[in-house]
Amino acid sequence: MPAKILSGREISAEIKDELRARVARLKDQGVTPGLAMVRVGEDPASVSYMRQKEKTSAEVGVFSQTFVLPEQASQGELLQKIDALNRDDSFHGILVQLPLPRHIDPRAVIEAIDPLKDVDCFHPINVGKLLIGEPYLLPCTPHGVWQILLRSGYSPEGKHVVICGRSNLNGKPLFAILIQKKSGANATVTVCHTRTPNLADFTRRADILVAAMGVPRAITADMVREGAVVIDVGVNRVEDPSKKSGFRLVGDTDFDALVEVAEAITPVPGGVGPMTVTMLMWNTVVACETQTGLSGN
């Protein structure tokens, strides 16, 4: 039987409904969650991602504002902007879109954001809190993966989760979420990476396999145990002359083949992708509730 398709779009819509209600209750108490987004330059992918974030903010009732600095802006100018936003009570969340131009150090920028407003959950304080099991916010894409599993009836409790990829953005924080001694987590987690020999020996032992290595269609059907749940975090552009844009998006798994082997699988697009922006809204609402002492629940 073909795999169940785990629709990030549907789960995302469900979470957005919940957030809309929570935002409405905050507004009743006189507060609107605010999200400040900063971009340096006009990288086309960043422009497109930020438009999506603005659109989703409007959908759930979050006030968002995008600030654009010119490509040549100095690191000092960007840090000044962050400092002003840190002090501005109308913004509960601050996001600086990555990647930044090469003359700016992303670590210095991330560390300049007030940890209370760090809705990406990239600040070392928030990453540390997550690791020790006392999270404030959760990083958006790994949180999206977790919510897909929980809301589809595939709780990681007691399961063997194999994560392929060790990035600070995805693999490492997902590991930190799933190993916690906490209801809905409690997984046994193996993290594989580019220096893992015989990768398939690990992936074949996964109850839940997460592909997050950024390599198009790297996980093939022979690498997956029959009945496994597969989450594909990959977003890769591959050339496709039949498309007007000249490209299409594929994940890190060979979806067409895996659909015949897996119990359930996320598609690309429409799987993990839509969850990321929704979880950013979740964090903005939590940040607002924390900073104001109000509750939307």
The yes-or-no answer on residue 120 being catalytic is yes
215 vs 257, beta carbon nearer ligand GUN:
215
Q: Residue 153 CB: number of other CB atoms within 10 A? A: 10
Peptide bond preceding 269 in cis form (omega within 30 of 0): yes
Q: Do residues 33 and 63 make contact, with C-beta atoms less than 8 angstroms apart?
A: yes
Size of the site for ligand GUN (CB under 6 A): 7
Q: How far apart are CA 50 and CA 141, in angstroms?
A: 15
CB of 283 to ligand GUN, least distance (A): 11
By CB under 6 A, residue 118 contacts ligand GUN: no
* Catalytic, out of 97, 118, 147, 254: 97
Among 31, 35, 116, 120, binds ligand GUN (CB under 6 A): 120
By CB under 6 A, residue 207 contacts ligand GUN: no
By CB under 6 A, residue 140 contacts ligand GUN: yes
28 vs 105, beta carbon nearer ligand GUN:
105
Which DSSP letter does residue 221 get? Answer: G
Amino acid symbol at 175: F
Among 12, 57, 97, 253, binds ligand GUN (CB under 6 A): 97
Angle between helices 8-28 and 272-292 in degrees, nearest 10: 20
119 vs 265, beta carbon nearer ligand GUN:
119
Distance of CA 279 to the CA centre of its chain: 7
* Catalytic, out of 114, 118, 120, 207: 120
Q: How far apart are CA 97 and CA 58, in angstroms?
A: 18
By CB under 6 A, residue 64 contacts ligand GUN: no
CB of 276 to ligand GUN, least distance (A): 6
Quote the tokens at residue 270.
């429409």
All residues at 6 or more sequence positions from 41 whose CB lies less than 8 Å from its CB, including other chains: 69, 70, 71, 101
Near ligand GUN by CB under 6 A, which window of 6-14, 93-101, 148-156, 203-211? 93-101
**Which residue ranges make up the site for ligand GUN (CB under 6 A)?**
95-98, 120, 140, 276
Task: Give catalytic residue positions.
Answer: 53, 97, 120
